[in-house]
Structure 1
Amino acid sequence: MLNERAQILLKTLVERYIHEGQPVGSRALSKFSGLDLSPATIRNVMADLEEMGLVASPHTSAGRVPTPKGYRLFVDTLLVVKTLDKVELNHLENHLHPDNPSRLINVASQLLSDLTRFAGVVVTPKRKGAVFRYIEFMALSEKRILLIIVTPEGDVQNRIIFTNTPYSQSDLIEAGNFINQHYAGCTLDEIRGRVNTELKQLRGEMISLMSAAIEAGGDAINESSEAVVLAGERNLLQIDDLSDNLISLKKLFELFERKTKLLQLLELSRQAHGVKIFIGGESDVSSLEEFSVVTAPYEIEGEIVGTVGVIGPRRMAYERVIPIVDITAKLLSSSLSQH
């Protein structure tokens, strides 16, 4: 437990370090803390905080910097979250609009990156069953058909089906309308089980087309499950704290490529109510020891289906990033639930 004086000095130190990126000395703490303390008193408090593992002294400076433990205490007990700027809020509301569901996931990831200047990430975890909202067929040639599948989340997947039978565009429209009318919202496994009994009313070649669509559609939707949509990874190359640490950046970009560990971390966020923050080694992902991850779950009609988040340096403006992530998750939930 810290007394009030120590809390104010730690809060001031973290805020100054986040703002300036330089170790914070006694003079700056005296100036910005609002406390009437002697330099000797401040140094004694800093020594206590260092002994507790909340701050550290770089060898090249007399000032101190927060440790991951110090950031954690700051975020949990001392942070004052800012209200999102009205311009930024309008920007989010205008772009996360339900009129364009097929692009919402990609747009959300890009918006998180644009507003924070870090990496934005949106995850759609694996669904319990491959469900589609509607299906459309488009003739590419006599025996090549483009299958377009739209999921309830607005994801669009395309697959090419090769057939032995030529189909007219009117045949394809008829098949698409039949599937959408009778099976939209069902899992493709459920549809597969009903095909033999319910499609007998159709011509044999139409049954063949629909069976091919069900198989291709199931593959397409399952492949898109647990997709990690990243945006703005290159922003991290421009951050001073990180640009000199090529080893950490290399590990992070390898994590982005593999994605499995990142998915496991973000899966934990689905179990949280609201924003969850992982600072450095708290994530148990070695590639993220120099980074922080701010996440929030999003939902469709009350059911949590995925996660949005921001990956950046530990020295990030948490008071600003937290509301951006939180509001993005809420707006995404609202827009997707309208479909």
Structure 2
Amino acid sequence: MQLDKRAQTLLKALVERYIADGQPVGSRALSKISGLDVSPATIRNIMSDLEEMGFVASPHTSAGRVPTPKGYRFFVDTLLTVQHIDESAVESKLHPTLRASPQRIITNAAQVLSSLSQFAGVVMTPKHESVFQQIEFLRLSERRILLVIVAPSGEVQNRLLLTEVDYTPAQLTQAANYINQHFGGLHFNEVRARLQNELRQLRDDMTQLMHAAVEAGSDAMADTADEVVISGERNLLSVSDLSSNMTSLRKLFEMFEQKTSLLQLLDVSSKASGVQIFIGGESQLVPMDDMSVVTAPYEVNGRIVGTLGVIGPTRMAYERVIPIVDITAKLLSNALSHS
């Protein structure tokens, strides 16, 4: 929707003032802070038009106005000027040591998002598609075999197989070589289907071993299904917009405990590029009207594997939070790609 320059200037001034102090903004205040050389009557008329178009609303208890979700959306999409954030300061917190594990780096990312925004930081851990690059069998003892699964990302999963046959090391090497040569890089479900037809020429006991490996490997990858790392939930308890009544508090804690709606939102944002802003009251994915979530996907070796973001009130300083999320996503991508 098109707004003329004066209307945009007043809306920008109103949103910024409301974010700063949380009080409805009146025409008198707008005439002082907007910098427009117009009469108070003209400002009142423009604000009345903005209200009619749904960009602002008038609380019953005040003569001033507050931004609506539609007003916030226009503000962040059109009027916002983001702040400069020092990347080196973020990077030092995110990846303090060269030996940090991927999980440690992801946890650090959630903490960085929380500490810099003063809200809650959230990271959806890398998606694990049940795909393997290669496997290896290690004979531990009679009828006990360690299955080693290497994912395309380089992540390693181990599973213990208890077999009916005591396989020799040579047999285990033969079985691993066959699977890696014919099925490496495929989804375990694809391997399961193809095993039915392609292993008839092998001995039954070798077929049993390979079937056991596929089932155990599929389970191992499923065990590392999507999870969410959250930091700074307590910060939101001090945000009156989110914790002002028991209903809001209940929704807040349900979101963090169940994580279902949060995972759904993060999964949606992983399919988009760059920073996404979900504003409560506008997006059905956000469980509370007074909540916004700023997200960005992150990559490992050029492939999107997860999403991170900041959860806070709709009355947040978007000009700070957006670059915090954007830079953290880029630095996390770089850190995980080289970890």
Q: Which TM-score tier does this pair reach, normalised by the shorter chain?
A: 0.7 to 0.9
1:92–1:38: structure 2 CA closer, same or farther, 3 Å change rule?
farther
Q: What residue is the counterpart of 2:287 in the other structure?
A: 287
Q: What residue is the counterpart of 1:12 in the other structure?
A: 13
Q: What residue is the counterpart of 2:255 in the other structure?
A: 255
Q: What residue is the counterpart of 1:37 in the other structure?
A: 38
Please tell me whether the aligned partners of residues 279 and 286 of structure 2 are also in contact (alpha carbons under 8 angstroms).
no
Tell me which moved more, 97-106 or 9-18.
97-106
1:112-147 CA-to-partner distances (Å, cap 9, x unmatched) read 11211212121246433244799999x9xxx99999
Please tell me whether the aligned partners of residues 30 and 39 of structure 1 are also in contact (alpha carbons under 8 angstroms).
yes
Q: What residue is the counterpart of 1:296 in the other structure?
A: 296
1:233–1:276: structure 2 CA closer, same or farther, 3 Å change rule?
same
Distance in 1 (CA, whole Å) between partners of 2:137 and 2:331 is: 28
1:126–1:91: structure 2 CA closer, same or farther, 3 Å change rule?
closer
Q: What residue is the counterpart of 1:82 in the other structure?
A: 83
Q: What residue is the counterpart of 1:338 in the other structure?
A: 338
The answer on 1:234 being equivalent to 2:231 is no
* 1:273 aligned counterpart, secondary structure: coil
Q: What residue is the counterpart of 1:102 in the other structure?
A: 103
1:131–1:68: structure 2 CA closer, same or farther, 3 Å change rule?
same
Please tell me whether the aligned partners of residues 95 and 335 of structure 2 are also in contact (alpha carbons under 8 angstroms).
no
1:241 alignment partner AA = D
The normalised TM-score by structure 2 is 0.77
1:10 alignment partner AA = L
1:213–1:104: structure 2 CA closer, same or farther, 3 Å change rule?
farther
Tell me which moved more, 9-18 or 116-125.
116-125
Q: What residue is the counterpart of 1:111 in the other structure?
A: 112
1:257-277 CA-to-partner distances (Å, cap 9, x unmatched) read 222332222222122121111
Please tell me whether the aligned partners of residues 298 and 305 of structure 2 are also in contact (alpha carbons under 8 angstroms).
yes
1:335 alignment partner AA = A
Please tell me whether the aligned partners of residues 144 and 163 of structure 2 are also in contact (alpha carbons under 8 angstroms).
yes
Deviation at 1:80, TM superposition (A): 0.4
The answer on 1:55 being equivalent to 2:59 is no
* 2:228 aligned counterpart, secondary structure: strand
Distance in 2 (CA, whole Å) between partners of 1:134 and 1:121 is: 32
Instruction: Trace 1:1-339 onto structure 2 (pairs within 5 A).
Output: 1-85=2-86, 88-92=89-93, 94-95=95-96, 99-124=100-125, 126-131=127-132, 215-285=215-285, 287-339=287-339
1:45 alignment partner AA = I
Please tell me whether the aligned partners of residues 24 and 63 of structure 1 are also in contact (alpha carbons under 8 angstroms).
yes
* 2:237 aligned counterpart, secondary structure: helix
Deviation at 1:77, TM superposition (A): 0.5
Q: What residue is the counterpart of 2:170 in the other structure?
A: none
2:246 alignment partner AA = L
1:160–1:98: structure 2 CA closer, same or farther, 3 Å change rule?
same
1:135-165 CA-to-partner distances (Å, cap 9, x unmatched) read 999x9xxx99999988666878787888999
Deviation at 1:32, TM superposition (A): 1.7
Please tell me whether the aligned partners of residues 102 and 156 of structure 1 are also in contact (alpha carbons under 8 angstroms).
no
Please tell me whether the aligned partners of residues 96 and 332 of structure 1 are also in contact (alpha carbons under 8 angstroms).
no
1:76 alignment partner AA = D
Please tell me whether the aligned partners of residues 87 and 327 of structure 2 are also in contact (alpha carbons under 8 angstroms).
no
1:299–1:161: structure 2 CA closer, same or farther, 3 Å change rule?
same
Distance in 1 (CA, whole Å) between partners of 2:228 and 2:137 is: 25
Deviation at 1:46, TM superposition (A): 1.3
Which segments of 5 or more consecutive residues in structure 2 lack a partner in the other structure?
166-172
Distance in 1 (CA, whole Å) between partners of 2:275 and 2:327 is: 10
- Percent identity, aligned pairs only, is 59
* 2:44 aligned counterpart, secondary structure: helix
Distance in 1 (CA, whole Å) between partners of 2:118 and 2:40 is: 36
Please tell me whether the aligned partners of residues 131 and 185 of structure 2 are also in contact (alpha carbons under 8 angstroms).
no
1:298–1:62: structure 2 CA closer, same or farther, 3 Å change rule?
same
Distance in 2 (CA, whole Å) between partners of 1:310 and 1:134 is: 38
Please tell me whether the aligned partners of residues 278 and 286 of structure 2 are also in contact (alpha carbons under 8 angstroms).
no
The normalised TM-score by structure 1 is 0.77
Deviation at 1:309, TM superposition (A): 1.2
Deviation at 1:313, TM superposition (A): 0.7
Deviation at 1:74, TM superposition (A): 0.3
1:83–1:36: structure 2 CA closer, same or farther, 3 Å change rule?
same
